[in-house]
Amino acid sequence: MNKPVSMLREFERRDAAEIGRDLHGFAASLYPICRSITGSGIRQTLAMIQDRIPLRIHEVATGTPVFDWRVPKEWNIRDAYMKAPCGGRVVDFQQCNLHVMHYSIPVHATLPLNEIRPHLFTIPDHPDWIPYRTAYYKEDWGFCLTHNQMLELEDGDYEVCIDSTLEDGHLTYGECYLAGRSSDEVLISCHACHPSLANDNLSGLAVATFLAEHFTLRDLRNSYRFLFIPGTIGAITWLAQNRETIGRVRHGLVLTCIGDAGGFHYKKSRRGNAEIDRAVACALRDCGESSEMLDFSPYGYDERQYCSPGFNLPVGCLMRSVWGTFPEYHTSADNLDFIHPEQLARSLRLCVSVFDVLEDNRSYLNQNPCCEPQLGKRNLYRSTGGDSIDDEIHARLWVLNLSDGEHSLLDIAERSGLPFATIHDAAELLCENGLLEEIAVRASTL
Amino acid sequence: MNKPVSMLREFERRDAAEIGRDLHGFAASLYPICRSITGSGIRQTLAMIQDRIPLRIHEVATGTPVFDWRVPKEWNIRDAYMKAPCGGRVVDFQQCNLHVMHYSIPVHATLPLNEIRPHLFTIPDHPDWIPYRTAYYKEDWGFCLTHNQMLELEDGDYEVCIDSTLEDGHLTYGECYLAGRSSDEVLISCHACHPSLANDNLSGLAVATFLAEHFTLRDLRNSYRFLFIPGTIGAITWLAQNRETIGRVRHGLVLTCIGDAGGFHYKKSRRGNAEIDRAVACALRDCGESSEMLDFSPYGYDERQYCSPGFNLPVGCLMRSVWGTFPEYHTSADNLDFIHPEQLARSLRLCVSVFDVLEDNRSYLNQNPCCEPQLGKRNLYRSTGGDSIDDEIHARLWVLNLSDGEHSLLDIAERSGLPFATIHDAAELLCENGLLEEIAVRASTL
Amino acid sequence: MNKPVSMLREFERRDAAEIGRDLHGFAASLYPICRSITGSGIRQTLAMIQDRIPLRIHEVATGTPVFDWRVPKEWNIRDAYMKAPCGGRVVDFQQCNLHVMHYSIPVHATLPLNEIRPHLFTIPDHPDWIPYRTAYYKEDWGFCLTHNQMLELEDGDYEVCIDSTLEDGHLTYGECYLAGRSSDEVLISCHACHPSLANDNLSGLAVATFLAEHFTLRDLRNSYRFLFIPGTIGAITWLAQNRETIGRVRHGLVLTCIGDAGGFHYKKSRRGNAEIDRAVACALRDCGESSEMLDFSPYGYDERQYCSPGFNLPVGCLMRSVWGTFPEYHTSADNLDFIHPEQLARSLRLCVSVFDVLEDNRSYLNQNPCCEPQLGKRNLYRSTGGDSIDDEIHARLWVLNLSDGEHSLLDIAERSGLPFATIHDAAELLCENGLLEEIAVRASTL
């Protein structure tokens, strides 16, 4: 049989535990890199993604106007430390790249502790964790350290050194485009601008990379565009550079915080009932994990830009734990132990099932609309009457009943409560038996 | 006063206990007959219904094409049994007509028990009950027996005999048409194809028959068409034979499983918000019994056919316990003890109140739309102010307030929370006082 | 800065406790007056309101036709009593003006107790309370007394005297019109026809009077019309006399029972989703008190008339405890102890916040609709990244995201869950920064 197999079915043939280990391993290989919104860290990250999928790297020069913004200076850092009066490094960038406030301007001076204090960031409630702080759009410098570290600092003069450069250069992002049979695009976007933070950034990068890898070998109906970009300014830059073709984006998903132990959260697009919103809702309903749908709000990840009123793209955001709601968020505790192989694998699987909906959602016309067709004579019904029927037969009845030109398979999956895959299988089988005909244009995307 | 009295009020003058006994008695008289989708059992049943109401009997020849189906061969049975090696009947159709799988082809042979086993059906979880099984559309034979019976069967050769005929003949159904002032039709459909099963089939037949009887003497606004038909193929046949006039069906109700001890369940039409759906919801709300509204699904009774996409008729299904959800369903335990006189009477009463809504739902125009009219000077208000008002006065205020040409009495009953009958009485009274005028066309059915 | 300050902010600068005492004091000064739907009591009341706000007094002659009604005769009363056989006053209007049934015709006779009994009203469940009863539209007389009083009455002949007049005269009502920049009107209506009843009538009169007082000094966008009228016949009379200009009423509120200890109840207008309904819902959500939204029903206060189908004005009714649901309603227990200074003050504050929404609800157009504008460079964002943001910044993001020409500030307040005032402040600030432009016509009122 030559019919296309759902990506999910194909995916499920593989060993989930192995996929999970690979995802976690890939995240682990990216973990030590000191990423920021520009600079060598993100370049290095994109190069490692490029080892796995066809990735086009874009470099956009500092100062380029992008809507209300300009591409910022490029920031690079070699070293940073605070040296105690007695001479040892008490805060050391070499030990953890969170120790420096990102985008700190270069500084090298010896200062009394009380003059340094306004530049120090800690988390008193979690005295062993280092916070993550940035100063992208204000020239400033700072160190992030554990609260316990700070408590141990004795008065005196400290050598503070941030060996960084903040100069004209480029903003770098990666783009992987997989052409499908239609020019309709599905946008998958994740930020690649956070340093050693695992759930917030690496989980999304790993899942998106593996998803693209899974898709490269497949016959796709939609075209897929994966963006690996610095948060906010990267999305703004990409949107500014692709204004003419943005209209091709029919569905989109921002992926982030998708590897922790929590259940799924999906933040709906600004439209609230776009096909992507419904596809995710349906996939979550069927996935067997706990999940929650959240309404759109204008704060969050890059859906903020995609859903700005000038674009209003149908882009939602898929997460496990929601950024800002778990204490490890934006701290050194968001490390490789905070993300789990099996959770990453399940997130990847969920994404595959979402895109299966987008690939397979169609509308059909029942060719025998008056009364049920006689399924029994086509071996599509049970043979002995009187007993109950199973989901496969239920699905056939649902598809026949609602294939009136006004319902897509997604509509039917929603209304019947049956898994989308079961509904899709029923439609395929009924088509093969001449009981359904596909309608050229998808009802639900008009 | 010459105004029409609501059917419900008239009905309530009668002795409910007596009505219940009559309904149960009529079901009991039908109980022993071996009905199937064709044959002498259904003919005998229809003849007994014809004794009570004007019934036209239709005979449709085997092989007649009806949409995707053909009218099947006619099945009749005289006897069936399994004789033990020692010679006694261990399974005997004469004791219970469920013992044979309906539509079994004739068989007469002596076979070892292990060759017979694939033809035996039991219910291990209820070892004293006989299951009900059919093989309408596959040539096969079988026996249904209690699990205990099967456990007692010793190895050896058994004489199996099914003295049935499966030959060209006719499909039989009954139709009772009660002409009203309008050609708009209300369809009441129940299946008459199950053998000795009381709730599933006889309860619906009894209530529908008594309903028709109750209606024959009344001045009706709608026309009513009662169908007593074999399930599935009967509905398909009727629809095929009445394609041109199907458009007259404005409301419809399938009645089944309506005599057991459970609360009401109403499965909405495919449209979900048809006037029949709202009329039943309103009647259930007011009836004082527990009830639940269920969404449409394409599996069930003959609403499957009426609500197929080519027709999409506004037909729902009224039940007490839902088929398939109670263990007695399709077993010998669905017997005359499983249905109760008072439940049958209450179901009949509920139906009458539903049809009262369909009969009396109209729209009116308030003749004094600016401010309330002065009800006091017409003796339509309490005379001493300061105290609370009763439902009758509330109903008058509601009818006046919403009689703006956009609300029917059903709309008003829904929005006010007051019983439909109270709203209808208020409208009649306000009409008599010149405060309302009926609008020619019903708003809610446009 | 010359921009208009929200009325609520201005109001909050004042001492709430003092406002509460003033409101209660004003109610107390009105309490002893024997008001009815016509006569000197309501004239006296209006004169006292006129001492505080610019009030135009209207006198409409008895017999004037007003829609289906006529202005009734004017009722005045000097004295009323029942004298015991031994000569003492056992029921005495001078002690409490509730002792007489209002609109009692004059009577002076000596009658045996059993002939008087049909004219006596008590509350057996609350034997120390005097009920409030009226006979506006039926010529009758009666006394209201405590049940204990009645139990003590001995048989014998009593002198009954009601020294009232029921003659051609006038119906009196007061109207305070505060012109705003637009001729769009906000109607605030309260009844002034109940005698010594504090929550039911005085609480509304006091809050409405103070509201008008608060508004007189302000630059208003909408025009405000305060009506102090006899219930039912007053609203009918006003509507009849203002038919041509009624269309100017864009929002309206009936105020009553607004001083007791209960939480707020708002009965929605007949339209159910008018801007006033949404403004009140939003103000209640933000006010920090318990509250409940009630659907419209055609019984209640003068919203009955304003929402009659010929007008269907967007007028709701704001209450604390709902009339008829508390035992003190329409009894002598609805006295000055039943209403509380702090509750009156909070009710006034709630009204101010409702009208703030009506004053400030506008639609804006985001001038940088593609992606977020860079708030940081305008000092509209936090400067250090990585930490959470506060409500003020959230509000800016919401306003920018939804200012697409299809959402008003009220829409944004509803969708964001943020207080209307916070949303409005954000819009003002964004306007000052050139990021928003007001759209001439309000989207939500089209």
Residue A1 clears pLDDT 60, i.e. is over it: no
User: CB–CB of B394 and C299 under 8 A?
Assistant: yes
| DSSP string for C234-272 | HHHHHHHHTGGGGGGEEEEEEE-S-SSSSPEEEEPPTTS
Residue C168 clears pLDDT 50, i.e. is over it: yes
User: Which residues in chain C are contacts of A71 at CB distance < 8 A?
Assistant: none
Q: What is the structure's pLDDT at B385?
A: 67
Q: Which of A67, A140, A295 sits opposite C371 (nearest CB)?
A: A67
Q: What is the structure's pLDDT at A441?
A: 64
Q: Which of A376, A386, A394 sits opposite B299 (nearest CB)?
A: A394
User: CB–CB of C134 and B386 under 8 A?
Assistant: yes
* Confidence bin at C386 (pLDDT 50/70/90): low
Mutation for testing the C interface, residue in A137, A189, A271, A311 having most C CBs under 10 Å = A137
Q: What is the structure's pLDDT at C444?
A: 41
- List, for residues B344-380, the tens digit of each pLDDT value: 999 999 999 999 999 999 999 999 999 999 999 999 9
More confident residue, C358 or A12: C358
Q: What is the structure's pLDDT at B382?
A: 77
Using N-to-C axis directions, what is the helix angle for B204-216 and B16-30, rounded to 10°?
120
> Phi/psi of residue C270, each to 5°?
-55, -30
Q: How many whole angstroms separate alpha carbon C331 and alpha carbon B372? A: 26
**Minimal Cα–Cα distance from B7 to chain C, Å?**
29
Q: Which of C232, C298, C308 sits opposite B370 (nearest CB)?
A: C308
Residue C3 clears pLDDT 90, i.e. is over it: no
Answer yes or no: are the C-beta atoms of B223 and B353 closer than 8 Å: no
| C379 and chain A in contact, CB less than 8 A | no
Please tell me whether residue A328 adopts helix, strand or coil conformation: coil
Q: Which of B373, B384, B397 sits opposite C298 (nearest CB)?
A: B397
| C95 and chain B in contact, CB less than 8 A | no
Answer yes or no: are the C-beta atoms of A322 and A294 closer than 8 Å: yes
**Minimal Cα–Cα distance from C4 to chain A, Å?**
28
Residue C93 clears pLDDT 90, i.e. is over it: yes
Q: Residues of chain C with pLDDT > 90: what percent?
A: 90
User: CB–CB of A368 and B67 under 8 A?
Assistant: yes
Q: What is the structure's pLDDT at A138?
A: 84
User: Which residues in chain B are contacts of A385 at CB distance < 8 A?
Assistant: 133-136
**Which residue does chain B place closest to C139, by CA atoms?**
B383
Q: Which of B69, B309, B330 sits opposite A386 (nearest CB)?
A: B330
**Minimal Cα–Cα distance from C417 to chain A, Å?**
10
Answer yes or no: are the C-beta atoms of B300 and B343 closer than 8 Å: no
| B379 and chain C in contact, CB less than 8 A | no
pTM over 0.90: yes
Q: Which of C366, C376, C386 sits opposite A309 (nearest CB)?
A: C366
More confident residue, B445 or C187: C187
- List, for residues B28-76, the tens digit of each pLDDT value: 999 999 999 999 999 999 999 999 999 999 999 999 999 999 999 999 9
User: CB–CB of A298 and C401 under 8 A?
Assistant: yes
Q: What is the structure's pLDDT at B285?
A: 98
Answer yes or no: are the C-beta atoms of C322 and C296 closer than 8 Å: no
Average pLDDT score, chain C: 94
| B137 and chain A in contact, CB less than 8 A | yes
User: CB–CB of B374 and C69 under 8 A?
Assistant: yes
Answer yes or no: are the C-beta atoms of C398 and C418 closer than 8 Å: yes
Q: What is the structure's pLDDT at A418?
A: 97
> How does strand B185-191 pair with strand B249-255?
parallel
**Which residue does chain C place closest to B403, by CA atoms?**
C309
* Confidence bin at A389 (pLDDT 50/70/90): confident
Q: What is the structure's pLDDT at B386?
A: 64
Q: How many whole angstroms separate alpha carbon B379 and alpha carbon B372? A: 14
Q: Residues of chain A with pLDDT > 70: what percent?
A: 96
- List, for residues C32-49, the tens digit of each pLDDT value: 999 999 999 999 999 999
Q: What is the structure's pLDDT at A440?
A: 79
Which residue reads 């300014």 in tokens?
A233
Q: Residues of chain C with pLDDT > 70: what percent?
A: 96
Residue B443 clears pLDDT 80, i.e. is over it: no
Chain C residues 355-374 within an 8 A CB cutoff of chain A? 366, 368-374
The mean pLDDT value for A291-304 works out to: 97
User: CB–CB of B298 and A398 under 8 A?
Assistant: yes
User: Which residues in chain C are contacts of B411 at CB distance < 8 A?
Assistant: none
ipTM for the whole complex: 0.93
- List, for residues A111-157, the tens digit of each pLDDT value: 999 999 999 999 999 999 999 999 988 889 999 999 999 999 999 99
Please tell me whether residue A446 adopts helix, strand or coil conformation: coil
Mutation for testing the C interface, residue in B364, B367, B368, B370 having most C CBs under 10 Å = B370
Q: What is the structure's pLDDT at B1?
A: 35
The mean pLDDT value for C323-351 works out to: 97
Chain B: touching chains (3 or more CB pairs < 8 Å):
A, C
User: Which residues in chain A are contacts of B135 at CB distance < 8 A?
Assistant: 383-385
| C246 and chain B in contact, CB less than 8 A | no
Report the half-sphere exposure of C146 (CA within 13 A, side-chain side). Answer: 13
Chain A: touching chains (3 or more CB pairs < 8 Å):
B, C
User: CB–CB of A133 and C387 under 8 A?
Assistant: yes
Q: How many whole angstroms separate alpha carbon B173 and alpha carbon B171? A: 7
**Which token pair is A426?**
């029923």
Of C254, C261, C100, C249, the C-alpha closest to C192 is: C254
Bridge partners, residue A404, by sequence? A365
Q: Which of A140, A240, A310 sits opposite C369 (nearest CB)?
A: A310
Residue C12 clears pLDDT 90, i.e. is over it: no
Supply the DSSP symbol for C331.
Answer: B
Q: Please, what is the end-to-end C-alpha distance for chain C in angstroms?
A: 31
Residue A384 clears pLDDT 80, i.e. is over it: no
Q: How many whole angstroms separate alpha carbon C20 and alpha carbon C225? A: 23
Residue B234 clears pLDDT 90, i.e. is over it: yes
Average pLDDT score, chain A: 94
| A26 and chain C in contact, CB less than 8 A | no
Q: Which of A133, A137, A239 sits opposite C376 (nearest CB)?
A: A137
User: CB–CB of C371 and A69 under 8 A?
Assistant: yes
Q: Which of A370, A386, A416 sits opposite B131 (nearest CB)?
A: A386
Q: What is the structure's pLDDT at A386?
A: 65
Residue C302 clears pLDDT 60, i.e. is over it: yes
| C1 and chain A in contact, CB less than 8 A | no
**Which token pair is C191?**
């009844």
Q: What is the structure's pLDDT at C441?
A: 64
| C439 and chain A in contact, CB less than 8 A | no
User: Which residues in chain B are contacts of C309 at CB distance < 8 A?
Assistant: 366, 369, 400-404
| C124 and chain B in contact, CB less than 8 A | no
User: Which residues in chain C are contacts of A297 at CB distance < 8 A?
Assistant: 394, 398, 416
Q: How many whole angstroms separate alpha carbon B177 and alpha carbon B76? A: 29
Answer yes or no: are the C-beta atoms of C27 and C259 closer than 8 Å: yes
User: CB–CB of A308 and C371 under 8 A?
Assistant: yes
**Which residue does chain B place closest to C132, by CA atoms?**
B386
| B2 and chain C in contact, CB less than 8 A | no
Mutation for testing the A interface, residue in B123, B197, B308 having most A CBs under 10 Å = B308
Q: Count CB atoms within 10 A of the CB of residue B242.
A: 13
**Minimal Cα–Cα distance from A147 to chain B, Å?**
58
R_g (Cα) of chain B, nearest Å: 25
The mean pLDDT value for A326-338 works out to: 97
Chain C residues 212-241 within an 8 A CB cutoff of chain A? none
Q: How many whole angstroms separate alpha carbon B141 and alpha carbon B138? A: 9
- List, for residues A341-356, the tens digit of each pLDDT value: 999 999 999 999 999 9
Mutation for testing the A interface, residue in B140, B297, B325 having most A CBs under 10 Å = B297
Which residue reads 């004298």 in tokens?
C83
**Which token pair is A156?**
């005196």
Residue A428 clears pLDDT 90, i.e. is over it: yes
**Minimal Cα–Cα distance from C404 to chain B, Å?**
33
Q: What is the structure's pLDDT at C445?
A: 44
- List, for residues C403-416, the tens digit of each pLDDT value: 999 999 999 999 99
- List, for residues B271-323, the tens digit of each pLDDT value: 999 999 999 999 999 999 999 999 999 999 999 999 999 999 999 999 999 99
User: CB–CB of B135 and A404 under 8 A?
Assistant: no
Report the half-sphere exposure of A102 (CA within 13 A, side-chain side). Answer: 25
